[in-house]
Amino acid sequence: MATKLLLTFAICRLIVTVGLTLDPTELLLLGVDAQLSVDPTDVKAASLDFGLLTGAQPPLAVMHPASSQDVAQLVKAAYGSNFGFTVSARGHGHSINGQAQTANGVVVQMSGSKGGSGVASGRKPPHPRVWPQERFVDVWGGELWIDVLRSTLQHGLAPKSWTDYLYLSVGGTLSNAGISGQAFNHGPQISNVHELDVVTGKGELLTCSEEQNSEMFHAVLGGLGQFGIITRARISLEPAPQRVRWIRVLYSNFSTFTRDQEYLISLHEQPASQKFDYVEGFVIVDEGLINNWRSSFFSPHNPVKISSLEPNGGVLYCLEIAKNYHESTASTIDQEVESLLKKLNFIPASVFTTDMPYVDFLDRVHKAELKLRSKGLWEVPHPWLNLFVPKSKIADFDKGVFKEGFLLQLGSCVHVIVIWCRWDHRSSAVTPDEDVFYLVALLRSALDNGEETHSLEYLTNQNRQILRFCDEAGITVKQYLPHYTTHQEWVDHFGNKWDRFYRLKMEFDPRHILASGQQIFTPTN
Ligand code: FAD
């Protein structure tokens, strides 16, 4: 009864806001099971995201679904209504430009429903179901990757491809790509999905895979939430490693650094013992950064003086590699790592090594999060810029962005991930035209500390300048986690994928109800 009242209240608010009348039978279409909330705490939480860039966009109501059917009922009601309201799935709200928000409709809070109003009624989204023989797991679309990991580990299994940070939802990363240092081996997360349940923009619940509704399947993967709300994903698993040998080595020369990265990913078809399991890199612009991490790494040459490493143009590059292993094979790990390291051309004496349980390695960013939170540095604006840079242009990018143009203001949060194109081009995700490309992630936080170069305005301007520089220098980058505000920019972003993207949008979400926070399509009333 309480739910019904809340629902009625939310719909009344919708009617008042939109200024149209609603046929009372439409209310019934939502059904009594739908857990719609206008609780100010829920509404406020759904109006913000990790970026803190857009200002609060309060939705009219928030739904805490307990099942695919709840989601389908809501979307069906939106699709069939005379006045039209939008529906945006929100995973863990770790977008930065309001992509999971909607000011004119209902946010479906996919993550965290286990602690939401669903609990009061005893209804919750399903828990992960592991299929040990088949080596896959079925998970709710709002499940966080950390919880997926915890569930599969109980069976000695784990997903193969990750993001650096695990407090992101399955639906949220699959709507983009899901990339980390394992991507050269296994592809991004969107290449490790067998099957999806999706609620389309018409409120239909479809199961899709390579074999069944395959066009929908590929469209949804990397589809920025445009075609449907993922309520279940079937994710591929492998036997879980127990430990990780994690190594960092330094370079002063960019081309040596990228040559080694490209060499390491070229080993992707070699047997496991002859390649690393994880390859990433980052750019270091001051000694402070090294001092931050080297205390937890062992180096036979500690302490290394950065000044003795002769940074070229003031910049050092850190290659970050990891090898997974099982305790039963611990005796061979030193040898395997040693023989791989021998083939690389890093600065001698710049090897930093640590060893830890697999879970601690995967969950490493959460440790950093807790530290930043304790200093009040987590909930600050994040004007992040993620760019896919083609291999043929990465040296120009280094020269123009890391070295000459923008160096001092970049701070320490620049990740460079080289990606082997084990990428299924039938997905909606957009990449450069070349087989090998880099993900350059400028992960900066804006601080209100009186320093102009730390301000949001300054960093945002610098992002614009970097994009302009790439454009003028003919560096054909593609944005990852893209953000555009005009139709033409989106058409350009998708390039030759646009026609299909548009056609499938018209087929699966013709009223443009879903994920309007991406600002690709304008909802039709
Ligand atoms: P939200 O922000 O809640 O939603 C993102 C978009 O997906 C929205 O448009 C939303 O409508 C849509 N959506 C959400 N759930 C669903 C669903 N069930 N069905 C359909 N559409 C849905 N990305 C990487 O690839 N690699 C990384 O290593 C990485 N590290 C990160 C670290 C941090 C600290 C942060 C903040 C982000 C990182 N990201 C990384 C980016 C992240 O993958 C994306 O921002 C992702 O979309 C966030 O997931 P979320 O659950 O918070 O999604």
Unique residue bearing structure tokens 């600002």: 519
DSSP 385-452: EEEEEEGGGHHHHIIIIIIIISGGGGTT-EEEEEEE----TTSS----SSSEEEEEEE------SS-G
Residue nearest (by alpha carbon) to ligand 1 atom 7: 172
pTM exceeds cut of 0.90 = yes
Report CA(99)–ligand 1 centroid distance (Å). 9
pLDDT at site 306 = 59
Question: Is 164 one of the annotated active-site residues of the chain?
Answer: yes
418 φψ region: left (φ > 0), alpha (ψ -120 to 50), beta (else): beta
Catalytic residue among 195, 277, 280, 398: 280
Q: Are 505 and 219 in contact (CB under 8 A)?
A: no
Report CA(92)–ligand 1 centroid distance (Å). 7
pLDDT at site 422 = 63
pLDDT values of the chain reduced to their tens digit, one per residue, 525 residues? 344 444 554 555 554 444 444 443 454 455 534 568 899 999 999 999 999 998 878 999 999 999 999 999 999 999 998 777 999 999 999 999 999 999 889 999 999 854 444 444 667 899 999 999 999 999 999 999 999 999 999 999 999 999 999 999 999 999 999 999 999 999 999 999 999 999 999 999 999 999 999 999 999 999 999 999 999 999 999 999 999 999 999 999 999 999 999 999 999 999 999 999 999 998 886 655 555 655 566 666 555 565 566 666 667 889 999 999 999 888 899 999 999 999 999 999 899 999 999 999 999 999 999 999 999 999 999 999 999 999 999 999 988 888 776 554 545 556 666 666 567 889 999 999 988 899 999 888 898 888 888 899 999 998 999 999 999 999 999 999 999 999 999 999 999 999 999 999 999 999 999 999 999 999 886
Strand partners, 388: 439, 478
Report CA(95)–ligand 1 centroid distance (Å). 6
| ipTM value | 0.99
Question: Is 94 one of the annotated active-site residues of the chain?
Answer: yes
Residue nearest (by alpha carbon) to ligand 1 atom 33: 165
Report CA(42)–ligand 1 centroid distance (Å). 19
Question: Is 280 one of the annotated active-site residues of the chain?
Answer: yes
Count of beta carbons in the 10 Å neighbourhood of residue 64: 27
Domains of the chain in start order, with CATH, are 2-121 (3.30.43.10), 129-239 (3.30.465.10), 243-480 (3.40.462.10)
Q: How many residues does the chain have?
A: 525
Q: Are 162 and 254 in contact (CB under 8 A)?
A: no
Q: Are 180 and 278 in contact (CB under 8 A)?
A: yes
List, in order, residues 6 or more apart from 347 with CB less than 8 Å away.
249, 250, 251, 252, 309
- How far apart CA 296 and CA 124 sit, in angstroms, is 40
pLDDT at site 481 = 97
312 φψ region: left (φ > 0), alpha (ψ -120 to 50), beta (else): beta
Q: Read off the tokens for 435.
A: 């087989």
Ligand 1 neighbourhood includes 125 CB (under 6 angstroms): no
For residue 39, the Cα-to-chain-centroid distance in whole angstroms is: 28
pLDDT at site 451 = 84
- How far apart CA 162 and CA 356 sit, in angstroms, is 17
CA distances to 247, 397, 465, 473, 475 from 469, in Å? 33, 9, 6, 6, 8
Give the burial class of 194: count Cβ atoms within 10 A of its Cβ; 0-12 exposed, 13-18 middle, 19 or more buried: middle
pLDDT at site 275 = 97
Catalytic residue among 26, 33, 155, 164: 164
pLDDT at site 4 = 46
Ligand 1 neighbourhood includes 415 CB (under 6 angstroms): no
pLDDT at site 1 = 38
For 362-387, letters b (16+ CB in 10 Å) and e give bbbeeeeeeeeeeeeeeeebbbbbbb
> Which of 57, 88, 90, 229 gets mutated to test ligand 1 (max ligand atoms within 8 A of its CB)?
90
The amino acid sitting at 85 is F
The amino acid sitting at 459 is L
List, in order, residues 6 or more apart from 113 with CB less than 8 Å away.
35, 64, 65, 66, 124, 125, 142
pLDDT at site 307 = 59
- How far apart CA 147 and CA 521 sit, in angstroms, is 33
- How far apart CA 111 and CA 64 sit, in angstroms, is 9
pLDDT at site 24 = 38
